[in-house]
Amino acid sequence: MAMAMCYCCCRFFIDSYISLNMEEDILDDHLLEMDLQVDADVAQHLKYSWKWAKFISVIMFVSCALIVITALLKISLLRLVLSRLTDNYLGLNDVDEWVLWCIFGVSIALLGFTYYLLYRFSKKIKQALQTGDTAQLNAGLRSLKLFFMIATIFAMLLVIKNIISLF
């Protein structure tokens, strides 16, 4: 059941990403024809946005690193937590430890990648504001869009997991 939900969410993400890219090309052409420019007010909001995005992403990178370091230093504690997780929540009793380590690694990698997109947004927007390059602005906003898409999928999965755990 959980694998089917993950597959459906991943499929939805891929399909929506492909359709959004097609719409983006059409929208980019339309926006170029309109000759939109960033005024001082928008630039100020983008400046605040990239500063906060950089701060949040760096905090999350440090958190991911601390989680990995703690896990490596406290392997026995992690084994206890993983055994309780498999017994109580996942309903798995005899799961190989390497499978759980792979799940742990993939989870940390996905979290890191998600916040890398936020960090990339901050870098691209900062460059765009300094140079006035529209391509950098578009790349930064595209990274922010992907960040929100992935974060929304994670949030939906957690809500579904919590609803299922009620029953």
CA neighbor of 46 nearest in space, from 166, 164, 140, 161: 140
| Res. 97: pLDDT tops 60 | yes
Kindly report the pTM of this predicted structure.
Answer: 0.68
Q: What is the DSSP letter of 94?
A: S
**Dist CA 84 CA 136 (whole Å):** 47
Rounded to whole angstroms, what are the CA distances from 132 to 4, 41, 110, 125? 45, 15, 32, 10
Q: Average pLDDT, stretch 41-51?
A: 89
Reading the block at residue 152, the tokens are 């929304």
**Dist CA 64 CA 57 (whole Å):** 10
Asked whether the beta carbons of 38 and 46 are under 8 A apart, the reply is yes
Between helices 97-131 and 134-166, what is the axis angle to 10°? 150
**Dist CA 30 CA 138 (whole Å):** 14
Highest mean pLDDT among 30-34, 103-107, 162-166: 162-166
| Res. 61: pLDDT tops 70 | yes
The pLDDT of residue 96: 64
The pLDDT of residue 31: 45
C-alpha dihedral over 38, 40, 44, 49, to 10 degrees? -10
Q: What is the DSSP letter of 93?
A: S
Asked whether the beta carbons of 122 and 53 are under 8 A apart, the reply is yes
Q: Which of 49-63, 86-100, 103-117, 141-155 has the lowest mean pLDDT?
A: 86-100
The pLDDT of residue 3: 47
Q: What is the mean pLDDT of the chain?
A: 77
